[in-house]
A and B are shown apart, each in its own frame.
Chain A
Amino acid sequence: MSDYVAISRDGLWNKNPALVQLLGLCPLLAVTGSVVNALGLGLATMLVLTGSNIVVSLVRHRVTDVIRLPAFVLIIAAFTTCTELVMKAFTFELYQILGIFIPLIVTNCTILGRAEAFASKNPVIPAAVDGFMMALGFGLVLLALGAIREILGYGTIFADMDLLFGPIAANWEIDLLHIESGLLIAVLPPGAFLVAGFLIALKNIIDGRIEKKRLAASEPLVAGSKRVRTTGNIS
């Protein structure tokens, strides 16, 4: 059980694909102009990553080293195309907005990376959990970026959610800032880089705090034993 906790912690925080491994940045930066786009891409990535991890883990004993990469890419591409078709069928307008970034999920290094580094060496269930948690970590960063950029750029949050959830979501939009036109740069590509940079910085600050606390907690022991050695100039 603690294995799964460790896997989850890796996916969500310690090895977060977007904030630590810095993988899959192309879709991350390109489609996070709003929450609905971010959520759409996040869910699609989750479907592909979890699915491909499961299948890669299932076939891991059958695949020889030589054909490993083409076979994994084939699996990932098949999952991506299925996801694309399903999105086209059920969330057509969102599919039109996300456009090329859905087929481009194939080239998201996170997915091949997890297939290589984890799924091909682990049983099915841990591989599935790893895929899901990595995708969740990636998706949460997408959502955070989408939300921040939407608030700064348009002054709203959850606009156009009906593209994903149907007519019931039509009035989920909340106008937070009541502005005519927001901070333009937040919606443009440079805004994506800036917000992503701040998110990474925030994560590092939090990590630093945690580290400090950990050190502080263990300080008496360490400091005490060291003081004896370094300050003992009796001669």
Chain B
Amino acid sequence: MTSSDSSKLAKFLDRQHPAVLNAFKLGLFAVVAAFILGGTYSGTEERIAISQAIVEERALLAVVDTIPVKNVAINDRILVPDSHLARLELDSGESIQVVRDDSAVPVAFIVPSVAPEGYSGDIRLLVGVDLQGAVTGVRATEHRETPGLGDKVDAKKSDWILSFNGKSLNNPLNGWAVKKDGGEFDAFTGATITPRAVVTQVEAVLLFYQENRAELIELAATSIVENPADEIESLVTDLEESP
């Protein structure tokens, strides 16, 4: 079909069936847009996955900051058994991250958990626990606490969350509450509910760990991971090597 034929056809349609022509044009727009979007998606897909993985890994590494030698491989995880989900306030499918030393012996676990009693709903936490049951670090990864008050749970805003480092169920013994409630932990200015929720949930995680320590260590020893901590690093190197 030559161009004059097609313009004739367009003119004919325009006169006789304008709706058909309009639908066709709009359809053409949609197809072109779909192709452009598809192209952009496939062009950015890999990069997005890497960015996501890097952010996730950075959050994980932050809670085991105090451990000198560690390998955190994103695929090195233990599924939280259904019976413990309620305890940690999690939905099914959540998993515990295993942290290993250079000879692949587990040195710590990173347990996800949700503090449900935040001032504006759930506060998602990552709690790093070493083999002796001491906290290696806590981070709030998702929260909607009031800016300027409750959002001091965020490590970017305040150092408060670091006060858990090195604490365990025996240290302070019977002190797992904010000072206002007779415990050992400072609350921050203007907000009691947020710290209370976090302290309670970190304690719950430690209790969970204490009860399931043997099982977790055994699971970590038997779960086979080839090249721990390899995945992210290789992704990043690939990215840096590519032009």
Residue ranges of A at the interface with B (Cβ–Cβ < 8 Å): 33, 62-64, 66-67, 70-71, 74-75, 77-78, 81-82, 85-86, 88-90, 92-93, 96, 153-154, 160, 180-182, 184, 187-188
User: How far is A63 from B148 in the complex, measured between Cα atoms in Å?
Assistant: 50
User: How far is A188 from B146 in the complex, measured between Cα atoms in Å?
Assistant: 8
Which of B43-51, B160-168, B195-203 makes up part of the contact surface? Answer: B43-51
A139 to chain B, nearest CB (A): 23
B182 to chain A, nearest CB (A): 25
Cβ B48 vs Cβ A153 within 8 A: no
Could you say which of B18, B36, B41, B147 contacts A153, with CB atoms under 8 Å apart?
B147
What total of A-B pairs shows CB separation below 8 Å? 72
Whether B156 sits at the interface, judged by CB under 8 Å, is yes
Cβ A180 vs Cβ B47 within 8 A: no
B242 to chain A, nearest CB (A): 13
Within 8 A of A (CB), among B165-196: 189-190
Secondary structure call for the A interface: helix
Cβ B22 vs Cβ A90 within 8 A: no
Cβ A85 vs Cβ B33 within 8 A: no
Within 8 A of A (CB), among B82-111: none
User: How far is A184 from B29 in the complex, measured between Cα atoms in Å?
Assistant: 47
User: How far is A155 from B149 in the complex, measured between Cα atoms in Å?
Assistant: 14
User: How far is A180 from B189 in the complex, measured between Cα atoms in Å?
Assistant: 9
User: How far is A64 from B226 in the complex, measured between Cα atoms in Å?
Assistant: 60
A72 to chain B, nearest CB (A): 10
Cβ B29 vs Cβ A74 within 8 A: yes
Contacts of B52 in A (CB 8 A): 92
Name 21 interchain pairs, CB-CB below 8 A, sorted by A.
Answer: A62-B25, A64-B25, A66-B18, A67-B22, A67-B29, A71-B26, A74-B29, A77-B33, A86-B40, A89-B47, A90-B47, A90-B51, A92-B55, A96-B55, A160-B156, A181-B148, A181-B149, A182-B148, A184-B147, A184-B148, A188-B147
Could you say which of A71, A78, A187 contacts B36, with CB atoms under 8 Å apart?
A78
Cβ B147 vs Cβ A33 within 8 A: yes
Report the 7 A-B pairs with minimum CB-CB distance, sorted nearest first: A92-B51, A89-B47, A89-B44, A78-B33, A187-B147, A184-B148, A82-B40
User: How far is A122 from B223 in the complex, measured between Cα atoms in Å?
Assistant: 65
User: How far is A96 from B26 in the complex, measured between Cα atoms in Å?
Assistant: 33
User: How far is A86 from B36 in the complex, measured between Cα atoms in Å?
Assistant: 13
